[in-house]
């Protein structure tokens, strides 16, 4: 008899964005005249930078000629891309990362979801609340949790975010083995300073723990005193893995290119206490289950690092951040407390009511879609996430409508 992995049955039936899509579809059916403005799901809306498109086209043409055609590429990614990532994203900021410590992939979602395969099933995991749901759900699927009871999975240590701690969780009150952190944060948009990140790195050293650091939104950091990478913090090379993505940096959500950094000095342990290289284990995993990213996509990603590519990607980010500034200013003028949105495309708004109620109000009265904070965890209740990914015109229109109903 073919049996299922019953851990899947512990998952909450509806993935947050499916529930939102359903409510939006129902509303659109009831009100076909209403033009809905989506400030919900975190997908970019603006076209790829010109430099990326040109590189993409050139690479596609190379694939059409026997003499320049490429088949399977190198397991870690093409050296032309790895070298630029190492130099511009890390070494230029004083982070000691070399190109052989970078592994290219088709997404930070799959990497941050798949990485848990490297770890034992009985480790103690700390996960923020509110949180990007992938970290939690992939551990549920792998059997690292008990059942879902009163809004929480048994066996997980939740790192609570609140107004009091500014949604930057405090260090765990007890030793843990694996810690998920994401800055700039999805969903709250908050960032972390170097001293506070240093405290997490020190905690990991003290407890032989590992930090999984999701920096998918680093490109939105405008305050140059904030770390873009955990490797800008001392001691992180031994205790941290970092996820990065071109999705939000350069509009690659539909093109798919990302990378994971695992320093050669980053170790985990066997039951007997022997040290194992996580870099080697991840590479072994990826070479078994993945065949890297297509040549044209890696050429398009490489173009992000050219002079024009950098300027054009920055223009995209600046456009979204103008939206974020506008959303924050309008909500503040209405007396709503906002977190995030200063170095991040997400604004975390205290809705002063249940978050799904506020979601329904904005949808039904203003035709604007946001994301209810409760979908990101128990600590998200009472908040909504508003995303700056849209045109300025739509954001202005959305805020005008919101002003009329709040
Ligand atoms: N990490 C975080 C925190 C995200 O919010 C997202 C996408 O929304 C991802 C990773 C996924 O990135 P990618 O498109 O590279 O899979």
Q: How far is the centre of ligand 1, averaged over its atoms, from the C-alpha of 29 (Å)?
A: 30
Minimum CA distance residue for ligand 1 atom 11? 109
| Burial class of residue 26 in the structure, from the number of CB atoms within 10 Å of its CB (0-12 exposed, 13-18 middle, 19+ buried) | exposed
8 Å CB contact between 356 and 372: yes
Query: Per-residue confidence at 13, pLDDT binned at 50, 70, 90?
Result: low
pLDDT of the residue at 89: 98
* Mean pLDDT computed over every residue of the chain: 97
Query: Per-residue confidence at 9, pLDDT binned at 50, 70, 90?
Result: very high
pLDDT digits (tens, 9 = 90+) for 165-174: 999 999 999 9
Query: Per-residue confidence at 191, pLDDT binned at 50, 70, 90?
Result: very high
Kindly tell me if the per-residue pLDDT of 16 is higher than 90.
no
Statement: the pTM of the whole predicted model exceeds 0.95: yes
Among candidates 290, 322, 310, 295, which has minimal Cα distance to 392? 322
Q: What are phi and psi of 152, to 5 degrees?
A: -140, 145
Q: Helices 50-63 and 307-333: crossing angle, nearest 10°?
A: 140
Determine how many CB atoms are found less than 10 A away from the CB of residue 327.
Answer: 26
- Which residue among 247, 304, 387 is best mutated to probe the pocket of ligand 1, counting the most ligand atoms within 8 A of its Cβ? 247
Instruction: Let me know the angle formed at the C-alpha of 335 by 333 and 338, rounded to the nearest 5 degrees.
Output: 90
Could you give the CA distance from residue 282 to residue 119 in angstroms, rounded to a whole number? 11
Residues contacting ligand 1 via CB (< 6 Å): 42, 107-109, 112, 132, 182, 186, 214, 216, 245, 247, 253, 258
Minimum CA distance residue for ligand 1 atom 3? 186
pLDDT of the residue at 185: 98
Query: Per-residue confidence at 14, pLDDT binned at 50, 70, 90?
Result: low
Query: Percent of the chain, pLDDT > 70?
Result: 99
Query: Per-residue confidence at 42, pLDDT binned at 50, 70, 90?
Result: confident
- Which residue among 108, 217, 242 is best mutated to probe the pocket of ligand 1, counting the most ligand atoms within 8 A of its Cβ? 108
pLDDT digits (tens, 9 = 90+) for 303-323: 999 999 999 999 999 999 999
The residues pairing with 181 across neighbouring beta strands, listed in sequence order, are 213
pLDDT of the residue at 291: 96
Residue 336: DSSP 8-state: -
E strand or H helix at 377: none
Q: How far is the centre of ligand 1, averaged over its atoms, from the C-alpha of 330 (Å)?
A: 27
Among candidates 187, 196, 215, 216, which has minimal Cα distance to 341? 187
8 Å CB contact between 304 and 255: no
Query: Per-residue confidence at 111, pLDDT binned at 50, 70, 90?
Result: very high
Kindly tell me if the per-residue pLDDT of 340 is higher than 90.
yes
Q: Is the dihedral of CA 392, 398, 403, 406 positive or negative?
A: negative
Q: What are phi and psi of 242, to 5 degrees?
A: -120, 140
Query: Per-residue confidence at 150, pLDDT binned at 50, 70, 90?
Result: confident
pLDDT of the residue at 117: 98
Q: How far is the centre of ligand 1, averaged over its atoms, from the C-alpha of 146 (Å)?
A: 26
Among candidates 125, 149, 129, which has minimal Cα distance to 138? 125
Q: Which atom of ligand 1 is nearest to the CA of 43?
A: 8
| Residue range 18-30: mean pLDDT, rounded | 93
Among candidates 311, 322, 379, 394, which has minimal Cα distance to 348? 379
The structure tokens 């991840």 sit at 282
């Amino acid at each position: 008899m073919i049996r299922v992995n019953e851990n899947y049955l512990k998952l909450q039936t509806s993935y947050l964005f499916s529930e939102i899509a359903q409510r939006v579809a129902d509303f659109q059916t009831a009100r076909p005249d209403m033009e809905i403005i989506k400030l919900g799901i975190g997908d970019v809306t603006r076209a790829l930078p010109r430099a990326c498109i040109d590189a993409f086209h050139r690479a596609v043409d190379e694939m059409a000629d026997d003499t320049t055609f490429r088949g399977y590429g190198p397991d870690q990614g093409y050296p032309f891309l790895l070298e630029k990532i190492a130099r511009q994203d890390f070494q230029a900021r004083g982070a000691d990362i070399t190109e052989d410590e970078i592994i290219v992939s088709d997404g930070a979602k799959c990497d941050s979801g798949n990485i848990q395969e490297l770890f034992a099933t009985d480790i103690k995991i700390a996960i923020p609340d509110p949180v990007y749901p992938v970290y939690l759900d992939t551990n549920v699927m792998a059997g690292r949790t008990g059942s879902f009871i009163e809004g929480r999975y048994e066996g997980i240590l939740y790192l609570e975010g609140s107004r009091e701690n500014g949604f930057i969780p405090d260090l765990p009150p007890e030793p843990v083995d694996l810690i998920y952190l994401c800055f700039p944060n999805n969903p709250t948009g908050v960032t972390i300073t170097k001293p506070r990140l240093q405290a997490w790195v020190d905690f990991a050293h003290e407890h032989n723990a590992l930090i999984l650091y999701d920096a998918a939104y680093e490109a939105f950091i405008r305050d140059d005193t904030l770390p873009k990478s955990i490797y800008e913090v001392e001691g992180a090379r031994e205790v941290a893995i970092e996820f990065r993505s071109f999705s939000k940096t350069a509009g690659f959500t539909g093109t798919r290119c990302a990378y994971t950094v695992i320093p050669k000095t980053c170790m985990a342990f066997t039951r007997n206490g022997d040290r194992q290289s996580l870099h080697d284990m991840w590479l072994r995993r990826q070479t078994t289950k993945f065949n890297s990213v297509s040549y044209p996509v890696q050429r398009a990603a490489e173009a992000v690092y050219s002079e024009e590519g950098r300027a054009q990607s920055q223009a995209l980010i600046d456009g979204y951040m103008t939206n974020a500034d506008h959303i924050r200013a309008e909500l503040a003028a209405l007396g709503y407390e906002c977190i995030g949105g200063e170095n991040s495309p997400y604004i975390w708004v205290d809705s002063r009511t249940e978050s799904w109620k506020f979601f329904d109000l904005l949808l039904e009265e203003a035709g604007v879609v946001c994301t209810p904070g409760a979908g990101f965890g128990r600590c998200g209740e009472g908040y909504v996430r508003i995303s700056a990914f849209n045109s300025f015109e739509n954001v202005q229109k959305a805020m005008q409508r919101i002003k009329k109903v709040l």
